[in-house]
A and B are shown apart, each in its own frame.
Chain A
Amino acid sequence: MSSTENTAGKSLFSSDRRRLIIQEYGIFLAFLLLAAILSVSNEFFLTAGNISNVLLQTSINGVLAIGMTFVILTRGIDLSVGSVVALAGIVSASFATGSATAGIVGAPYSPFIAIPVGLGVGIACGALVGIIVSRFSVPAFVATLGMLSAARGLTLIYGGGKPVPALTADFRWIGTGNIAGIPMPVIILAIVFAVSWWVLNRTRFGRYIYAVGGNPHAANTSGINVGRLRFSVYVISGGLSGLAGMILAARTGSALPQAGIAYELDAIAAVVIGGTSLSGGVGRITGTLIGALIIGVMNNGLDLMGIQSYYQQVLKGALIVGAVMLDQKRNHGG
């Protein structure tokens, strides 16, 4: 940057204001930059087919990361999402499978039964974690680490360690269908995002979340039921994990017992890259969506360039740490 640009910036905005703009839009600019580099370096990147592909790949992580944002905003963490994805996926699949041996009695049921069942499994897992965290004051890290192990075990027990194949076409529609050419998972992500944005930015519940994350003691003395609020964010994260699990099963056509392994890491990465503070109270849902898109675009771009997936993991690691380093510099570097 030349010095003339700097002085111009100073006269236009106060330093406070400028910092706010960087905070609000910095991540978005980073995303645009990444997309621009990829479009220049690869002619296939900007095609409709590829964009749709990136969005499709981002949808599951996006849904999980949005739930994770609610949790992290209240100073919590949810390590169990990957296992809940598998458990909700396999239970709902057992209601929606055409296979005579893998399903429960009377299967296949209509998606109008199988989907609420999957959501219910996710919500139940979240509610259990929520009670453990809010009522018994167990740190979220420990409570959800326990659920990570337990839900994976339940998945293996429920399916006898085997996948549940041959899901009905009706059920698979939520993963493979489309409306006006837009894939269903992308539409689901858009709806989840819109509702979450509204809840966090425009409702009383959203204000409670930021208040509890910012200072739980002050929130408590201000008459906010901190325990109930903590409980509810794990329910939200659990429910969205259930939803993500069903999308995954529907896309692949069968529910695998090893589905969703390490998904919690990508979800947390998206939240962190999106600028939400792990110490709570600070963060935007828009940032999380862009964080998820950055991960999706980066994976896709490296694929297109023919770079091995091993290197992708290294780059993703650098990206996570780098994003937070920039954030620290911005917030504390003066």
Chain B
Amino acid sequence: MSELLLDVDGLQKSFNGVAALRNGRLQLQAGSVHALCGGNGAGKSTFLKILMGIHNRDGGTIRRRGTDVVYSTPAAALAAGIAIIEQELSPVPHMTVAENIYLGREPSARFGGIDFKTMNRNAQGLLDRLEFDIRANQFMMNLSVAQVQLVEIAKALSHDAEVIFMDEPTSAIGEKEAQQLFAAIGRLKAEGKGIVYVSHRLSEIFQIADSYTVFRDGAYVDSGRLADIDRPRLIEMIVGRALGEEYIKTNAPTSVPGLEVAGLTAPGKIENVSFTAHKGEILGIYGLMGSGRTEIFNCIFGLDAPSAGTIRLDGAPITVKKPADAMAQGLAFVTEDRKQTGLNLIDSVRNNVCLASLPELSPRFNMDRAGEAAASREMIERFRIKAARDTMPVSGLSGGNQQKVVLGKWFLRNPKVLLLDEPTRGVDVGAKREIYRIICEFAESGGTVVMISSEIDEVIGMSDRILVMRQGRPAGICPREEADAQTLVHLST
């Protein structure tokens, strides 16, 4: 067996006496893509942060090509050939691609200036070698999220990185762009690099990775070749028990219209969008990033003003000028990014659950504090939210539990229609299951669900019908029986 690029064993780390990582272990071969799997709180991010030199380990060994190493800063890790493409990218938007790649180590010209010519030439050479269709003198702010990711990869390689960590790289990009990314990963693999790929999307892992390592509760569980296992087995290792069917549909759509949208138009965003979601139905919306999916919800919920179109609820037309109008009609909107628009992270679980129901919880201006406590208790029990106390900040919860708090906030209002935008983004397999159960139960009891998802498996598994969006326009509606990955991708591009 050839020398390992990276051989980590027994890595430990505690924060304030709480063990975040008890036994981190990983072996990375040159020229391979290695999937690091685990639920939220499994210790993956702590593991990555130790390897990147952001945290110091409490114990364990890291061997880089056979020698013991210690990295105390990200710069040291990078110098040793370890780079990370983070989940949340932070480029300098007003600089060019080349300036971003060579940030902090610009080639110098006379009198301490920067040799822009050389820098642009080098950057362009690098991008061309990787077959990335990006010009080095473009401003970062004009690139798509997927292109920014490719630039990050180029930047990593410009440091001669041999080991590249990718943390949920597809969480913010569409299917087509993801395929471009996978092609790039394939080229890196062929060059003999080692890639550690972290993702909650199992179908991606099976598509691109050769081997896997699973962490659970801060410790190594198992590793091996992906060719030797199947999807249910991997899920079982991640959650620690067999889970049976991934998508259990218990709802049955009726023919009674719940939410009807006709001719909805917002210039430059969406054009002539019409659909009917029935009571008891889960209507999926699929489309690439920027195809106008979220914009439909923004218009329905009063966050954006449509220039034309009608919205009917239970057959009667409604007027929505601001979110409060939509809420009064019985609409609820679980937004795409819980940290940006779903939660007040610094506030408590209880206050977040009550956030959308404050007028109801304070009939006479004064807050009904017992009512708030009861409401939060009810939602925590109903959705099995794991929180030590409901007065703790919601930022201390895992991603899955945070998402359940957002759901709790809206279910507290007893909505008639649930608008879900990527309801399981960044949520682990176990919590996903719980969220699917909650959604199905809601539809089963006669609620109307409209759900946006970029994950093809999820949208096919959960929806009764799927509306496909392309460039701001509806490209077609697929019934459940006819929906498969090829059809959806074909319609959306």
Which of A204, A207, A218, A223 lies in contact with B341, CB distance below 8 A? A218
Give the residues in chain B near A221, CB-CB below 8 Å: 301, 303, 323, 333, 335, 341-342
B343 to chain A, nearest CB (A): 6
**Contact across chains for A218 and B342 when beta carbons are under 8 A apart:** yes
Tell whether, in the assembled complex, residue A211 and residue B355 are in contact, meaning their CB atoms are under 8 Å apart.
yes
In the assembled complex, which residues on chain B have CB atoms less than 8 Å from the CB atom of A218? 340-344, 355
A193 at the B interface (CB under 8 A): no
CB pair A219 B17 closer than 8 Å? no
Instruction: Give a binary string over B160-172; 1 marks a CB under 8 Å from any A CB, 0 the rest.
Output: 0000000000000
Q: Does A104 contact B (CB under 8 A)?
A: no
Select from chain B the residue with minimum beta-carbon distance to A14: B388
Q: How far is the CB of B392 from chain A (nearest CB, A)?
A: 7
User: Which of A16, A205, A215, A223 has a CB less than 8 Å from the CB of B356?
Assistant: A223
Chain B contacts with A in 447-484, Cβ cutoff 8 A: none
B429 interface residue, CB < 8 Å from A?
A: no
Q: Contact at B342–A204, with CB atoms within 8 Å? A: no
Chain A residue, CB-CB nearest to B323: A223
Question: Is the C-beta of A3 less than 8 angstroms from some C-beta in chain B?
Answer: no
A203 within 8 A of partner (CB): yes
Do B322 and A225 have beta carbons less than 8 Å apart?
A: yes
Q: How far is the CA of A251 from the CA of B367 in the complex (A)?
A: 38
Which of B37-45, B241-249, B357-365 is near enough to bind chain A? B357-365
User: Quick one: which of A202, A211, A218 has the most chain B CB within 10 A?
Assistant: A218
- Give A234 Cβ to nearest chain B Cβ, in Å: 20
Q: Is the CB of B355 within 8 A of A219?
A: yes
**B residues within 8 A CB of A215?**
340-341, 343-345
The docked-state distance in angstroms from the alpha carbon of A101 to that of B340 is 59
Chain A residue numbers with a CB within 8 Å of B326 are: 223
Is A15 interfacial (CB 8 A cutoff)? yes
- In the complex, A39 has a CB within 8 A of chain B: no
Question: A interface, by DSSP: helix, strand, loop or mixed?
Answer: helix
B346 at the interface (CB under 8 A from A): yes
Closest Cβ–Cβ distance, residue A215 to chain B (whole Å) = 4
Interface residues as binary, B355-379 with A (CB distance below 8 Å gives 1, 0 otherwise): 1101101100111010000000000
**Contact, CB under 8 Å: B367 / A204:** yes
A281 lies within 8 A of B323 (CB): no
Query: A281 to B333, alpha carbons, bound, how many Å?
Result: 23
Is the Cβ of B366 less than 8 Å from the Cβ of A214?
no
Closest chain A residue to B361, Cβ basis: A204
Contact between chains at A223 and B17 (CB < 8 Å): no
Say if the beta carbon of A181 comes within 8 Å of chain B.
no
Is A222 a contact of B303 with CB atoms below 8 Å?
no
Chain A residue nearest to B363 in the complex (CB): A204
Given contact pairs A222-B323, A334-B15, A207 touches B344 in the complex (Cβ within 8 A): no
Q: A214-B344, A221-B333, A223-B324 are in contact. Are A207 and B367 (CB under 8 A)?
A: yes
CB A127 to nearest CB in B, in angstroms, measures: 21
CB distance from B301 to the nearest CB of A (A): 8
Does A135 reach chain B (CB closer than 8 Å)? no
Q: How far is the CB of B239 from chain A (nearest CB, A)?
A: 27
B16, B17, B343, B365: the one contacting A203 at CB < 8 Å is B365
Q: Do B303 and A15 touch (CB < 8 A)?
A: no
Kindly identify which residue among A206, A219, A223, A281 contacts B346, using a CB–CB cutoff of 8 Å.
A281
A210, B341: Cβ atoms closer than 8 Å = no
Shortest beta-carbon distance from B337 to chain A in Å:
9
Contacts of A220 in B (CB 8 A): 303, 323, 341
Q: Is the C-beta of A330 less than 8 angstroms from some C-beta in chain B?
A: no
Indicate if the CB atoms of B323 and A204 lie closer than 8 Å.
Answer: no
Q: Give a binary string over B322-352; 1 marks a CB under 8 Å from any A CB, 0 the rest.
A: 1110110000010100001111111100010
**Across-interface contacts of A282 in B (CB, < 8 A):** 346
Interface string of A283-310 (1 = CB under 8 A from B): 0000000000000000000000000000
Q: In this assembly, does B64 line the interface, its C-beta being within 8 Å of a C-beta of chain A? A: no
Q: Which chain B residues border A95 with CB–CB below 8 Å?
A: none
> Which one of A15, A207, A210 lies within 8 Å of B17 (CB-CB)?
A15
Q: In the complex the two chains form, is A214's CB within 8 Å of B356's CB?
A: no
User: Is there contact, CB below 8 Å, between B347 and A217?
Assistant: no
Q: How far is the CA of A208 from the CA of B362 in the complex (A)?
A: 12
Q: Say whether B409 faces chain A, with CB atoms less than 8 Å apart.
A: yes
| Shortest Cβ distance from B342 into A: residue | A218
Q: For window 366-415 of chain B, which residues contact chain A by CB distance below 8 Å?
A: 366-367, 369, 388, 392, 409
- Contact residues in B for A224 (Cβ distance below 8 Å): 324, 355, 358
Given A15-B16, A222-B323, A225-B322, also A205-B344 (CB < 8 A): no
Q: Which residues of A contact B392 (CB under 8 A)?
A: 16
CB of A183 to closest CB in B, whole Å: 31
Complex CA–CA separation, A208 to B367 (angstroms): 11
Q: Looking at the assembled complex, report how far the CB atom of A226 sits from the nearest CB atom of chain B, in whole angstroms.
A: 10
Tell me the bound Cα distance from A281 to B345 in angstroms. Answer: 10
Q: In the complex, A210→B345 CA distance in Å?
A: 11
B303 touches A214 (CB 8 A): no
Q: How far is the CA of A282 from the CA of B347 in the complex (A)?
A: 8
* Known contacts A211-B355, A225-B322; A203/B345 CB under 8 A: no
B361 surroundings in chain A (CB, below 8 A): 204
What is the distance, in angstroms, from A119's C-beta to the closest C-beta of chain B?
A: 21
Q: Which residues of A, 214-259, contact B by the 8 Å Cβ criterion?
A: 214-215, 217-225
Contacting pair A210 B365 (CB below 8 A)? no
B323 CB contacts on chain A under 8 angstroms: 220-223
For B347, what are the chain A residues with a Cβ–Cβ distance below 8 Å?
Answer: 210-211, 214, 281
CA–CA, A99 and B250, complex, Å: 83
Determine which of B322, B324, B365, B369 lies in contact with A205 in the assembled complex, contact meaning CB atoms within 8 Å: B365
Indicate if the CB atoms of A203 and B341 lie closer than 8 Å: no
Q: CA of A12 to CA of B420 in the docked complex: distance in angstroms?
A: 43
- The chain A residue sitting closest to B410, CB to CB, is A222
Closest residue to A16 on the B side, CB-wise?
B392
Residue in B340, B343, B346, B365 whose Cβ sees the most chain A Cβ within 10 Å: B346
Residue of B nearest to A212 (CB): B344
- Give the docked Cα–Cα distance between A219 and B326 (Å): 14
Please report the C-alpha to C-alpha distance between residue A89 and residue B234 in the assembled complex, in whole angstroms.
73
CB distance from A321 to the nearest CB of B (A): 23
> Which residue of chain A is the closest to B298 with respect to CB atoms?
A221
CB distance from A92 to the nearest CB of B (A): 29
Q: Give Cα A205 to B358, complex, Å.
A: 9
Residue in A closest to B326 when the chains form the complex, CB atoms: A223
Query: Which residues of A lie under 8 Å from residue B345 when comparing CB positions?
Result: 214-215
Chain A nearest CB, measured from B19 CB (Å) = 14
CA distance A202 to B358 in the complex (A): 12
Which residues of B, 408-448, contact A by the 8 Å Cβ criterion?
409
B324 touches A225 (CB 8 A): yes
Q: A16-B388, A215-B341, A223-B327 are in contact. List 12 more A-B contacts (CB 8 A).
A: A202-B369, A203-B367, A204-B358, A204-B362, A204-B366, A210-B351, A214-B346, A215-B340, A219-B344, A221-B303, A223-B322, A224-B324
26 A-B residue contacts at CB 8 Å? A15-B16, A16-B388, A203-B362, A203-B366, A203-B367, A204-B366, A207-B367, A210-B351, A211-B355, A214-B346, A215-B345, A217-B340, A218-B344, A218-B355, A219-B344, A220-B303, A220-B341, A222-B323, A222-B356, A222-B409, A223-B323, A223-B356, A225-B324, A281-B347, A282-B346, A334-B15
The 7 A-B residue pairs with the shortest CB-CB distance in the complex, in nearest-first order: A214-B344, A204-B362, A223-B324, A222-B356, A217-B341, A215-B344, A223-B323
Residue numbers of B with Cβ under 8 A of A are 15-17, 301, 303, 322-324, 326-327, 333, 335, 340-347, 351, 354-356, 358-359, 361-362, 365-367, 369, 388, 392, 409
